[in-house]
Amino acid sequence: MPKQEPRDDLYADPKRPLSSFAFDERVARVFPDMIRRSIPGYSTVIDMTAVLAGQYVQPGSHCYDLGCSLGASSAAISRGAAKTPCRIFGIDSSPAMLKRAGARLAQLKLPVPVTLICADVLETNIENASLVVLNFTLQFIQPRRRLELLVRIYNGLRPGGILVLSEKLAFTDPEAERLQIEMHHAFKRANGYNDLEISRKRSALEAVLIPESLDCHRDRLAKAGFGRSDLWFQCFNFVSLVARR
């Protein structure tokens, strides 16, 4: 039987003081359960990252999983690109995440090895890339530095290479925003989180995860140089785009 992942109950205790959300050891320990129960469509995004890797990774190129956490997207790239000689880099600034990512990836016996690097994605050199993945990471970068990161990615991509950008969205129409948040919270309740946990986690994330509208993402991708960006996935207020160089 597969091993049960530790359950995320980080926000269940009302007596525990609330601090700003951080990708520390406590979060890393429960991360697989947390992300599966918090992001609608997460497993589809990961599975399709493998399909996109199979389609777009070019022989002799590099693949980057920026904000790789425990390496779920890196492993998907490895499986998808199994037949293509390439190098895969998983980058994350959280030592707690990377320590666990190393152990998890080693157990998977992947067809293409993943090189894990503890670094800020804003400082990471991106070169000779055919695939760059930002799965739910850009939302944690300060908005004023997001364009700079996308420009680095664009400049590091080969012609025909792609960026996969998955994000939580905000909506400019207040009614759409209300409806989407309501559905997201219903999704979390259906996955066993109670109202207290949902509201405490929301407060902890407030200044840390800053979602933007789809138009804002598209405009920024265009400013960074991407000729087109296509929405390939949406589930409630979570989306994924493919932008091609």
Ligand X SMILES: C[S@@+](CC[C@H](N)C(=O)[O-])C[C@H]1O[C@@H](n2cnc3c(N)ncnc32)[C@H](O)[C@@H]1O
The footprint of ligand X (CB under 6 A) covers 23, 35, 67-69, 72-73, 91-94, 97, 120-122, 135-137, 140-141
Nearer to ligand X, 179 or 234 (CB): 234
Nearer to ligand X, 93 or 128 (CB): 93
Nearer to ligand X, 176 or 235 (CB): 235
- Render 90-116 in DSSP notation, one character per residue: EEES-HHHHHHHHHHHHHH--SS-EEE
**Is the Cβ–Cβ distance between 76 and 166 less than 8 Å?**
no
- Consecutive H or E run containing 65: strand 61-66
Smallest distance, Å, CB 152 to ligand X?
Answer: 12
Smallest distance, Å, CB 136 to ligand X?
Answer: 4
- Render 171-236 in DSSP notation, one character per residue: -SSHHHHHHHHHHHHHHHHHTT--HHHHHHHHHHHTTT---B-HHHHHHHHHHHT-SEEEEEEEET
Smallest distance, Å, CB 32 to ligand X?
Answer: 8
Which of 149, 151, 156, 155 is CA-nearest to residue 67?
A: 149
Nearer to ligand X, 29 or 176 (CB): 29
Smallest distance, Å, CB 69 to ligand X?
Answer: 4
Q: What does the block give as tokens for 92? A: 């994350």
What is the four-CA torsion angle of 136, 78, 132, 34, rounded to 10 degrees? 10
Q: What does the block give as tokens for 102? A: 């190393």
**Is the Cβ–Cβ distance between 67 and 101 less than 8 Å?**
no
Nearer to ligand X, 74 or 175 (CB): 74
Closest residue to ligand X: CB criterion: 67
Q: Which 3 state secondary structure label does DSSP give 168?
A: strand
Nearer to ligand X, 1 or 72 (CB): 72
Smallest distance, Å, CB 219 to ligand X?
Answer: 22
Smallest distance, Å, CB 227 to ligand X?
Answer: 25
